[in-house]
Amino acid sequence: MTRILLTLALAYLIGSIPFGYLLVRFFLKQDIRAVGSGNIGATNVARSGKKGLAMLTLALDALKGYTAVYFALLIARQTQPGITFALSPLAASAAVICVLANIFPVWLRFKGGKGIATALGVFLALVPVAALSALALFIVIVALTRYVSLGSILAAASIPIFAFFFTHPRSVALVPSVAIVGLVCIWRHSANISRLLQGTESRLGQKKPA
């Protein structure tokens, strides 16, 4: 039990690292929370005018998701040698905790990002084919509409479906964890959904008023 709790605590600490905030603070001497939507994720970092920092934020947020799940798998293998990502309840739990940590980081008074990039990282570890399928859907939607939020919402909604069809039948217990992460990401986009319905959502490349 202690090992499980420590693993989940580590997943939270990894997930709570606010890369977007740190990169903008270090390189631009700005607080990204005072820019655009105030979010610390890659989309809002792009509104700072530094696309390179936005891409780095995206990569690091995804990497921390993958890393948290990978460490959980290493711990699980100490008692279950040979277990895979898809069959490890501990890895699946760490995935959920890591994404929640990105959204509620202790370092920023529990006000973080929307979890999409970190969710991509944990999904690449747990269900890589499903993750790549959802990523492809995201790219298509954004290319057609230039709405990053719409692409994120539809990708998050599709990931449990892709996971159900593209994972081994023995991994079916993994689907609920994937679904939880997807639902949390959609919930974090509730304001975006409202703006999409009203026709006031910002498109990719369009600066959002502070």
Where are the domains positioned within the chain? Answer: 2-198
**What is the model's pTM?**
0.91
CA 58/CA 55 separation, integer angstroms: 5
Predicted confidence at residue 172, as pLDDT, reads: 66
Please name which of 125, 107, 109 lies closest in space to residue 16, comparing C-alpha atoms.
107
Residues contacting 48, CB < 8 A, separation 6+: 24, 28, 30, 32, 35, 54
- Model confidence at 14, pLDDT cuts 50, 70, 90, reads very high
As a whole number, mean pLDDT of residues 129-158 equals 95
Residue 98 has pLDDT above 70, yes or no: yes
